Copies of this chain bind each other. A is one copy, B any other.
Amino acid sequence: MIDLQYVPQDEFARVRALQTGPVERTAIFADLCRINTLYMITRAGSGHIGTSFSCLDLVSWLYLNELQPPDVFFSSKGHDAPAIYSVLAALGLLPFEQIHELRRLNGLPGHPDVSTPFIEANTGSLGMGISKAKGMLLANRLLGRDGRAFVLTGDGELQEGQFWESLVSAANHKQDGITAIIDHNKIQSDTWVSRVSDLGDLEAKLVAFGWHVARVDGHDVGAIARTFASLAKVTGAPKVIIADTVKGRGVSFMEGTAPEAGDRLYRFHSGAPDDDTYVKAVPELVERVNTRLSAAGSAAVRLVSTPRPERLMPARPQKLVAAYSRALVDEARRNPRIVAFDADLALDTGLLPFEAEFPDRFVECGIAEQDMVSQAGGAARKGLLPVVHSFACFLSDRPNEQIFNNATERTKVVYVGSLAGVVPGGPGHSHQCVRDIAVLSAVPRLVLIEPSCEREVELAVAYCLSDASRDSAYLRLVSVPWDVPFELPGDYRLAEGRGVELTPGGDAVIFGYGPVLLGEAVKAAVLLRARHAIQAAVVNLPWLNRIDRDWFAGAVRDRAAIFTLDNHFVHGGQGDMLLRTLAEMTDSRVSRPRVVCRLGILDVPVCGRNDEVLRAHGLDADSLCETMAAAMTATVNT
Q: Is the CB of B375 within 8 A of A120?
A: no
One complex includes copies of this chain to the number of 2
User: Is A31 engaged at the interface, CB distance under 8 Å to the other chain?
Assistant: no
**Pick from B134, B140, B371, B381: contact of A169, CB under 8 Å:** B371
- Please, which residues of chain B bring their CB within 8 A of the CB of A545? 571
Q: Is the CB of A569 within 8 A of B442?
A: yes
CB under 8 Å from chain B, chain A span 597-617: 597-598, 603-604
Chain A 492-520, CB-CB to B under 8 Å as 1, else 0, gives 00000000000000000000000000000
Q: Is the CB of A441 within 8 A of B438?
A: yes
Q: Is the CB of B131 within 8 A of A585?
A: no
Q: How far is the CA of A445 from the CA of B604 in the complex (A)?
A: 9
Interface residues of A (CB under 8 A from B): 113-114, 120-123, 125, 127-128, 131-136, 138-140, 142-143, 145, 159-166, 168-169, 171-172, 197-201, 204-205, 207-210, 336-337, 339, 360-361, 363, 365-366, 368, 370-384, 386, 393-394, 397-398, 400-402, 404-405, 407-410, 429-430, 434-435, 437-439, 441-445, 545, 549, 553, 568-569, 571-573, 575-577, 579-580, 582-588, 590, 592-598, 603-604, 636-638
Q: Is the CB of B121 within 8 A of A409?
A: yes
**Pick from B200, B410, B582: contact of A583, CB under 8 Å:** B582
- Please, which residues of chain B bring their CB within 8 A of the CB of A571? 441-442, 545
Q: Is the CB of B442 within 8 A of A568?
A: yes
Given known contacts A200-B210, A374-B131, A379-B136, A604 and B365 CB-to-CB distance under 8 angstroms:
no
In whole Å, how far is A439's beta carbon from the nearest beta carbon of chain B? 5
In whole Å, how far is A54's beta carbon from the nearest beta carbon of chain B? 22
User: Which 8 interchain pairs have the tightest Cβ spacing?
Assistant: A161-B161, A135-B378, A131-B374, A139-B382, A132-B378, A161-B165, A135-B379, A164-B164
Q: Is the CB of A597 within 8 A of B569?
A: no
**Pick from B125, B162, B443, B553: contact of A638, CB under 8 Å:** B553
Q: Is the CB of B133 within 8 A of A378?
A: yes
Given known contacts A583-B580, A584-B579, A168 and B368 CB-to-CB distance under 8 angstroms:
yes
Q: Is the CB of B408 within 8 A of A429?
A: yes
Please name 29 pairs of A and B residues whose Cβ atoms are closer than 8 Å in the assembled complex, sorted by A. Answer: A114-B409, A114-B410, A122-B409, A128-B402, A134-B375, A134-B378, A135-B381, A139-B379, A142-B361, A142-B384, A143-B382, A161-B161, A165-B371, A168-B197, A171-B200, A204-B207, A204-B208, A394-B401, A397-B439, A398-B401, A400-B439, A439-B442, A553-B638, A572-B576, A576-B576, A576-B580, A580-B580, A580-B598, A584-B638
